[in-house]
Structure 1
Amino acid sequence: MSSDASFTIKPIAKSVGDRTNFGSVIEGLDLDCISDGNVIALADAIWTHKVVVVKGQKDLAPLKQWDLVTRFDPDAPKVHSHGDVKTFAEKGGVLSASREVVGIPGAENVRLIGKGYQGDDHYGIKGMDIQKRLLNDFHLHKLPEKDFKAGITRFQRWHIDAPLYAREPAWFTTLRYIKRPTKPEITIRWDDGSGYSMKTEPGLTAFISNVQTYELMTPDERATADHSWVEYAPHPFMWIANCSGRPNGLGLEPEGKEKSLEELGDYDPKDIKRYPMVWVNPVTGERSFQVHGICARRLFLRSSLTEEPRVIDDVDEIRAFLKPIQERVLKPEYVILPKTEEGDILMWANYQVFHTAVDYPIEYGPRTMHQTNIGASIGPAEMGLFRVPVSAA
């Protein structure tokens, strides 16, 4: 990490049996007046630790949060990675359908997200009560309501914050916790036949490391991943708008409900994203198996740079290929839910981890957060082990 840092970093506390190797807590940093040196050091810390909790930012103004993400990547276009609020509402598909997102007045690239009543006047947003469908409704096989009311829940949808069309994924996402319930405890169930479950406070965000996913792959799997790439659908979240997720939140059920390209309307072929399967951390050199399977339309598989790729364009076959690789890390001992207190900011490297929301009964209390990120100036196509061919037939 940069020697200019004037803050302290310590690992997130681990429980017995925890096998995660990422996540840290940062103290002694005031984001309201952060120096250029500390911005660089903080970015290095996020790349290095992948998920960080920056303590004590209770009075941070929304514009200061946006200013920070622009300073992380000063060459990036000055807009949220998913575009403005109107664009997100029109093109967000399954993302915008599942939640109500509002830009903070005067800082519209900072989004208010949460659950329940947000107060009489929240930074100029008057009397907003966020009523949305349950996050668990994304799953094909629904969690019984009586279980949910009893504090049983699931991971919603494992993902990276990335439009996967036109704009590049944000290097980092920042999420300021303003209010959340801390009790009673909830139980996350996988409900996928594994029997896995884990307990946690409500209102937190879950993470798995795709660096650990890569480390758990066999040598042959890594050789393929190192040389292969993914083509994502145009307007991918509209493409899967009618699809449903698996109960553990990783991947989609094989229903055949993806929209046709004609149904997506106008799109620009040059905005379709083709990314390597493996993304390289620019600070640590670590490799992550970073494939957003729910949006993948074609895979190009090969084990060397000279080999002709085998093309998979059947989405069920794509997901069947990815499922056993990605589910190896989806076990309680590899999942973290960093404890964040009101005023803390959670920051993570989208090029290294997957994350997901975890719903809870509204009776536990409201949740209020400010989220922002910025579409990167340098994307995954330039952070892999090879340059993806421009024309992929």
Structure 2
Amino acid sequence: MAIELEPLPLPPSADPSNFLEFGKEVKGVDPGKLSPEELEEIRVLLYKHDALLFRNCELSPEQQYALTKVFDPDTEIYGHGNNKTETAKRSILHPYLKTIPRVPQVQLIGHGTVHDHEGIAVAELQHPSHKNFHQTHLSAEDEAAGFTRFYRWHIDAALYALEPPQVTTLYGISVPQGPKQVVRYEDGTGDELPVSLGTTAFISGRTMFEILPSELKSVAVRARVRYAPHAYEWMSTAGAMTTGLGLETEGKEKPLSELADWKEEDVKVYPVLWKNPVTGALHFEVHPAGVQELFIAPLPAGAKREGALYPDGAHLTDLKELRDLLYKMQRPGIAPSLVYPHDWREKDLVLFHNRGVMHSIVGVFGPGQVRVFHQCNLAASSGPVGPSDEDVLKWA
């Protein structure tokens, strides 16, 4: 059968006009048994649409790894590395990832106690929630009433030493059902978002850039971020904002002198905007919780200076200042009408362009609920490409 595409099943909260190109459901093919020609078509489709959904799949860890590797054949290490060193154990990600022994690029994630799974005798899985990461927590009464939060808006990336994966694949094996929940943004806007239990929320980095006013587009196209060394250890003692979009600035980040050994050459500095390899579009791709410094280049010669922000460039090291600027640029992109909260079914497979979207875990599971997912992404063989000189001239 030929590959068929249908729109994603959008919830009533989503504005369909913002999802004309973002996300497609793929029918007519088995993602575990694609021909070379079909694999190439899927590769191009993912970069065009940023997220692809396959329903009712049978997918082994070996098949998931092989499918993920199509997007970067020159790499084979899991996106955050496969080591079990003390450095990895000090990361805030450590409690949530269990490696499949025979395919270490694939991680077991989810919630609850899992027995005899793919060579793992027993796994105690924990679904991350805002209680693990936010500065403030919802009250027990609000949680009982069905309210929840985004956990952390992010890209899948080590943010140190390894390059961000091109694509992440998520495969739902056991998907507990329950009452819908409502995400509260709690940032003074009154924004809320009804979601299914345990949704994964996605937004388009391209849309995040395109909806910015011209003066912030100019900043974005000229800007680079420097991530803290061992960023997940650095942020582990701090608390996130209620929207999950970055950290509150309270001086609680772990001092660099207390981090695991690190090298300056392994610290990552990336452009704020990443260029899509197929469409050429620019995607706003910043993991706000890990940013330590922000560099803004001066306006190019001939650019209009009236009304411009940072016309002579800037190097921001004050965490409050740079976080406020990033939040101002990123917060519009997570508005309820722009979020695709995927309503998981068992045997759903979602591929997403990790260099083109941002995503967040959402929700809280109750006692006895067991959720089993396989996740795979691979540290890329090269770094992201930023705006071209022509892009800078166009948007600055």
Aligned residues: 377
What is aligned with 1:328?
332
Query: Which stretch of structure 1 is more off in the superposition, 318-327 or 121-130?
Result: 121-130
What is aligned with 2:195?
200
The alignment partner of 1:33 has SS state of coil
Check if 1:253 corresponds to 2:244.
Answer: no
CA distance in 2, matches of 1:180, 1:203: 9
User: 1:339/1:132 Cα in 2 relative to 1: closer, same or farther (>3 Å)?
Assistant: closer
What is aligned with 1:45?
45
Among 95, 101, 105, the alignment partner of 2:101 is 105
Query: What TM-score, normalized by structure 2, do the two folds share?
Result: 0.89
Kept after mapping to 2: 8 A contact 1:151/1:361: no
Instruction: Give the CA deviation at 1:340.
Output: 2.8
Check if 1:294 corresponds to 2:297.
Answer: no
Structure 1 unmatched ranges of 5 or more: 388-393
Query: What TM-score, normalized by structure 1, do the two folds share?
Result: 0.90
Check if 1:340 corresponds to 2:338.
Answer: no
User: 1:46/1:28 Cα in 2 relative to 1: closer, same or farther (>3 Å)?
Assistant: same
What is aligned with 2:171?
176
Check if 1:28 corresponds to 2:28.
Answer: yes
Query: Which stretch of structure 1 is more off in the superposition, 320-329 or 363-372?
Result: 363-372
> For 1:268-309, what per-residue CA distance to the aligned partner results, in whole angstroms no more than 9, with x for missing partners?
111111111111111111111222221111111135356763
Kept after mapping to 1: 8 A contact 2:247/2:289: yes
What is aligned with 2:261?
266
User: 1:55/1:17 Cα in 2 relative to 1: closer, same or farther (>3 Å)?
Assistant: closer
User: 1:92/1:379 Cα in 2 relative to 1: closer, same or farther (>3 Å)?
Assistant: farther
Kept after mapping to 2: 8 A contact 1:245/1:251: yes
Kept after mapping to 1: 8 A contact 2:79/2:379: yes
CA distance in 2, matches of 1:133, 1:56: 26
CA distance in 2, matches of 1:88, 1:43: 36
User: 1:225/1:208 Cα in 2 relative to 1: closer, same or farther (>3 Å)?
Assistant: same
User: 1:127/1:175 Cα in 2 relative to 1: closer, same or farther (>3 Å)?
Assistant: same
What is aligned with 1:114?
110
Kept after mapping to 2: 8 A contact 1:115/1:367: yes
> For 1:324-355, what per-residue CA distance to the aligned partner results, in whole angstroms no more than 9, with x for missing partners?
11111221111111223211111111111110
CA distance in 2, matches of 1:29, 1:256: 51
The alignment partner of 2:9 has SS state of coil
CA distance in 2, matches of 1:330, 1:177: 24
Structure 2 unmatched ranges of 5 or more: 302-310, 391-396
The alignment partner of 2:374 has SS state of strand
User: 1:69/1:88 Cα in 2 relative to 1: closer, same or farther (>3 Å)?
Assistant: farther
Among 239, 250, 271, the alignment partner of 1:276 is 271
The alignment partner of 1:170 has SS state of coil
What is aligned with 2:238?
243
Instruction: Give the CA deviation at 1:149.
Output: 3.0
> For 1:243-272, what per-residue CA distance to the aligned partner results, in whole angstroms no more than 9, with x for missing partners?
110111111111111222211232111111
CA RMSD of aligned residues (A): 2.2
CA distance in 1, matches of 2:85, 2:63: 23
Query: Which stretch of structure 1 is more off in the superposition, 301-310 or 199-208?
Result: 301-310
What is aligned with 1:70?
69
Letter of the 1:218 partner, please give it: P
Kept after mapping to 2: 8 A contact 1:149/1:361: no
